[in-house]
């Protein structure tokens, strides 16, 4: 397996993990059927989602490191940072 294929597989596995967590959280909300509990579960998801996004983006940047210029990598990293900042407000 090439290095690129390993990075893509890792990115996909992280996204599958995130999706599994989201679906599991939805099922827990239905199981508990309480607004307070659903709100707490949703708050936890609010922490997990951006973390997965940053991890997947980091893997992508690592994979692109040898293929694009440092200026473009910097712009991509800045874009990811701006998305994370905007999502926090």
Q: 3-state SS of the chain: helix, strand, coil percent to 5?
A: 90, 0, 10
pLDDT band for position 87 (cuts 50, 70, 90): confident
> How does DSSP classify residue 70?
H
Global pTM value: 0.80
pLDDT by residue (tens digit) across 17-61?
999 999 999 999 999 999 999 999 999 998 898 899 999 999 998
Q: What is the pLDDT of residue 16?
A: 97
Contacts of 77 (CB under 8 A, 6+ apart): 61
């Amino acid at each position: 397996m090439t290095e690129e294929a390993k990075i893509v597989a890792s990115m996909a596995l992280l996204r599958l993990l995130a999706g599994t967590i989201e679906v599991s959280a939805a099922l827990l909300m239905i199981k508990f059927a309480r607004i307070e509990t659903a709100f707490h579960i949703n708050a936890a998801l609010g922490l997990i989602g951006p973390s997965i996004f940053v991890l997947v983006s980091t893997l992508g940047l690592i994979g692109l490191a040898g293929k694009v210029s440092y200026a473009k990598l910097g712009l991509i990293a800045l874009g990811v940072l701006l998305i994370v900042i905007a999502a926090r407000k």
